Structure 1
Amino acid sequence: MLYLDNAATTPLRPEVLEAMMPYLTERFGNPSSHHTVGEDAADALADARARVARVLGLRASDIVFTSGGTEANNLAVKGIAIGAREHRGARHVVTTPIEHESILESVGYLERIHGFDATRVPVDHVGRVDPDAVARALRDDTALVSIGYANNEVGTVQDVAALAAVARERGVPVHIDAVQAAGWLPLSAAELGVDAISLAGHKLGAPKGTGVLGVRGRIPLEPLLHGGGQERGRRSGTEDVAGAVGLATALELAEADRAEASARVTVIRDRFVARVLTTVPTSELTGDPVHRLPGTASFTFAGTSGEAVLLELERRGVVSSSGSACAAGSDEPSHVLLAMGIAPEVAQTAVRFTFPHRLRQPLDAVADAVAASVSAVQSGG
C-alpha cells in the first residue's frame, strides 16, 4: 500500500519517538511543579520552546504550545481579534474564502458572538490572493489579517511577504496558517513579515494533538482557555512536555532537510502531474501550477465521482483523498474549489495526492493507476 495522503497526517518519525520516550516514562513531571521532578520537565519544555522559536525566527517567549493546528488557528483569530478590540476598539477581520475550517469558523464566531465585521477577499482561479485586494479590504478598525500560507486542498502558495507588507503599512497584525507549509517553505516570521504563525506537529512526523502558535509578544492576545495560567497566561492547562519535545524535534529535522526535500519532491511531482494530464483526458490540475507546495498534486476528473476514483485507487494499492481530512464525510463540494470558480459538479470529482518529504522514486505507476481508476469509474467498473 502506498500512502499519498500526507497532508492529512504523517507517520511518527523514529527520531521523534526516541526524543519523546523519556518524557512518556521516567521523566514524567508536571512542568508547573516546584520540585526536582517538575523542574526537569520544565527544563525540557523550555528547551523545546527555544528550539521551535529558532526555526520560526521568534523569541522563546513568543511560542505557545497547543493541542494542534486547529487550536492554534482558533487562538490566533479569536485571541488577536478580541485582544485588538479590547485595546483599540477594532472590530473587523480580513481573511479569504479558501481557508481551513478552523479559520473560517473562528471568523464566523467573531461575527455571530462578538459583533465583528469580516471581509473575505476573493481568490483567482488558481487560489491566489491579490495583495492589492487585501489593501482595499483594510479599514481603520481592522484587527487582523489571517491567511493560509499554503492551501491544504490544492497546494497553492500565497505571496505572504507581499500580503503582510500591505497590512504592515496600516499597522494591522498578520497571522498565517502554516500547517501545510511547514517542512516545505521558509518559516521565519521576520523574513515573511508576519506577526503570528500556526503549526501542527502531525504534518511533520510528530504526534497528533501537538501544535504551536508563534505570536509576537507585543500583540495583545486574549486567551481561550482559562485556569492555571500556563504558557504565560495565554493557554491554560498542563503542558504536554513529551509532545512539545516531539514537535520541536520534528520541526528541526524537517527544517534541516527542507531545501533538498522541496527540490527533489518538486521534480517527482511535476513528472507525476504531466503523466496524469497526458494519460487521463478529463483531468485538470487544480491550484496554481507554479506557486504550489512541492508535495501536492490535486486534480478534477470530469464525469466521475472523486470518492469512486479513490475506492478504485485503493483497490490498486494507492491511498489518497478527495480534499481536507477535516471535511471528510461531507457530501458538499469543496469550498476551496467553489471559491476558485470550479463548478460544483466538477468540484465533487476532486482527488488530492500529497507526498512525503522522503519521497525519492518516480510515481509513474501511481499515475498509471490513476488512469486505470478513472477509466474504471467512467465505464461503470
Structure 2
Amino acid sequence: MGTLGDFAGLWDPEPGWLNTASYGLPPKPAWDALQAALADWRVGATSWEPWDKSTTRARESFARLVGADAGDVFVGSTVSAALAPIAAALPDGAKVLTDDVEFTSDVFPWQVHADRGVEVVAVPGDELVAAIRPGFDLVAVSAVQSSTGAVLDLAAVVAASKEIGALVVIDASQALGWLPLRVDGVDALVTHTYKWLMSPRGATIGYLSPRLQERCRPSAAGWYAGAEVHDSYYGTRMVLADGARKFDQSPAWFSFVGAAPALELVEQIGVETIHQHNLELANEFRAGLGLPPGDSAIVSTPLPGAQEAFASAGIRAAVRDGKLRASFHIYTTLADVHQALTALKPLL
C-alpha cells in the first residue's frame, strides 16, 4: 500500500469531476493497456488470447479485494445478467426483500418471475434489517445505494438473514473500490467495474458461494464456460468448468483489458487508504453545505438550482431522484470540493 500522493500522477482529470457514481476515470495503466490492445486490434497484430489474460487477472484481483477464492468468482457483462441464474433458481412463491430505492438492475431480475409467484417486498433502507423476518427467502440489496449514497450495515444484514436461512445477494457496484468489503456470510456479491473500479463499461465480476453454485443452473453457459475453452467451440459435447467459472459469460475483451490494471492499482493503493481520502473530501463538502459528517463517498441532498449552478461553473455531478448527487474518489482534490462549494454558495 502507498499514499495517494504516490499515485496522483496516474490521473489527469479536468477539474470539477464529481461524478464517479456515474463512471470512474481510468488510471494511466488501464488507459495505456486499452490503447495498446485497440492498436493491435486495428491492424490484426495478435490473436485474442493475450487480451483474455486480463480476464484472469481481473478475476483474481477481485477475489483478493473481497476475500474470496478465485474459483468462486465468475465474469460477465452486466449485473442484471449475473443475477438472472440466481433468480431462476428461486422456488415458486419465493419472497425477496430489497430497499425501496434500490437500483432496478437489482430488482427486475426477481420481478420478472412474478408469474411464478415470486414476490419482491421493498422497505425503506433504515428499516431493512428489522424487516428480515421468517418468510423471506432472499435479501437483495446494494452495499451502497446509488441514489442516496446510504451505506448498508452488511454485517447486520448477514446476521439477520442467517437467523432465518435467507440468501444474501449484494450489489457492490457503488462500493467496491472505496468501501472495504468481504464476502463472509454473503451468498453472492456482484459488481460492475466501471464506477469506483475505474474500468471500461462491460466488465462485471461476481462471487457465488459454493451453496449457491449448487442451487443455480448456468443457463447462459457458452464456450467460455467450458472446462477447456479451446475444446468448447463446436458440437454437443459439454464439459463445464468447475466452481463459479461455469457461470462465466464470454468476456468483452477490451473491457477486461482496462479492468485488470485498474483493479490491481486499487489493491496497490489499498481500499482503506482510498476510503479515508474519499470520506475526508465528502465530509468537507457536507460541512460546506451545513450537513453533518457522513460515512459515504456519495453525497445526496435536495438543493434546488444546484444542477444549473454546477453547469455554469463547469462542475460535473448528477441529479438522482430529484436530489443533487456528488461523488468523490481517488482523483478528487480539495480544490474540486471548494470549487463546487463556491458554485453552490448563492443557493445556501
TM above 0.5, yes or no, is: yes
Give yes or no for contact 2:54–2:260 (8 Å, CA) kept in 1: no
The change in CA–CA distance for 1:75 and 1:11 in structure 2 (over 3 A counts) is: same
SS of aligned partner of 1:366: helix
Give me the whole-angstrom Cα distance separating, in 2, the residues matched to 1:90 and 1:74.
21
Residues 274-293 of structure 1 mapped to structure 2, 5 A cutoff: 274-277=287-290, 292-293=295-296
- Between the aligned partners of 1:105 and 1:81, the Cα distance in structure 2 is 10
Q: Where does residue 79 of structure 2 map in the other structure?
A: 72
Give the one of 325, 329, 341 matched to 1:356: 329
Indicate how the Cα distance of structure 1 residues 6 and 46 shifts in structure 2: closer, same or farther if over 3 A, else same.
closer
Partner residue in 2 for 1:195: 187
- Contact 1:265–1:360 (CA under 8 A) maintained in structure 2: no
Counterpart for residue 341 of structure 1: none
If the length of structure 1 is used for normalisation, what is the TM-score? 0.72
- Letter paired with 2:25: P
Whole-angstrom CA distance in 2 between matches of 1:22 and 1:364:
37
Matched, 1:230 2:231: no
Identity of aligned residues (%): 24
CA–CA separation in structure 2 for the residues paired with 1:270 and 1:319: 18
Quote how far apart the aligned CAs of 1:290 are: 5.5
Contact 2:148–2:299 (CA under 8 A) maintained in structure 1: yes
Change (3 A) 1:55 1:261: closer
Confirm or deny that 1:218 pairs with 2:177.
Answer: no
Deviating above 6 A after TM superposition, structure 1's stretches of 4 or more consecutive aligned residues are: none
- Match in the other structure for 1:2: 16
**Equivalent residue number for residue 268 of structure 1:** 281
Aligned residues of 1:128 and 1:156 also touching (Cα < 8 A) = no
What is the correspondence of 1:37-76 to structure 2 with a 5 Å cutoff? 40=50, 43-67=53-77, 71-76=78-83
Structure 1 equivalent of residue 344 of structure 2: 370
Residue 170 of structure 2 aligns to a residue whose secondary structure is: strand
Which whole-Å CA distance do the structure 2 matches of 1:129 and 1:25 have between them?
51
- 1:52-131 equivalence runs, <5 A: 52-67=62-77, 71-76=78-83, 78-85=84-91, 91-111=94-114, 113-120=115-122, 122-123=123-124, 127-131=125-129
Change (3 A) 1:355 1:10: same
Letter in 2 for 1:317: G
Q: 1:149 maps to what in 2?
A: 143
Where does structure 2 lack aligned partners over 5 or more consecutive residues?
1-14, 227-244
Q: 1:217 to 1:38 in 2, by over 3 A?
A: farther
User: For the Cα contact (< 8 Å) 1:128–1:158, is it kept in 2?
Assistant: no
Tell me the SS of whatever aligns to 1:146: strand
Which residue of 1 is the match for residue 32 of structure 2?
18
- Give the alignment of 1:307-326 within 5 angstroms: 308-323=305-320
AA in 2 matched with 1:369: A
Q: 1:246 aligns with which of 258, 263, 266?
A: 258
Q: Residues 270 and 50 of structure 1: is their aligned pair in 2 closer, same or farther, counting only changes over 3 Å?
A: closer
Distance 1:109 1:183 in 2: 30
The answer on 1:169 being equivalent to 2:163 is: yes
Query: How high is the TM-score relative to the length of structure 2?
Result: 0.78
- Per-residue CA deviations over 1:219-241 (Å, capped at 9, x if unaligned) read 122345354362744244x3223
Q: CA RMSD in A?
A: 2.7
Indicate the SS of the match to 1:3. Answer: coil
**AA of the residue aligned to 1:72:** V
Q: Name the count of aligned residue pairs.
A: 308
- Report SS of the residue matched to 1:218: helix
Q: In the TM superposition, what is the alpha-carbon distance from 1:45 to its structure 2 partner?
A: 3.2
- C-alpha change, 1:224 and 1:235, in structure 2 (3 Å) is farther
| 1:13 positional shift | 1.6
Residues 43 and 229 of structure 1: CA distance in aligned 2, closer, same or farther (over 3 Å): closer
* Distance (whole Å) between structure 1 residues aligned to residue 210 and residue 23 of structure 2: 30
Counterpart residue identity of residue 6, structure 1: T
Partner of 1:299: 301
In 1, the alpha carbon distance for the partners of 2:169 and 2:89 equals 14
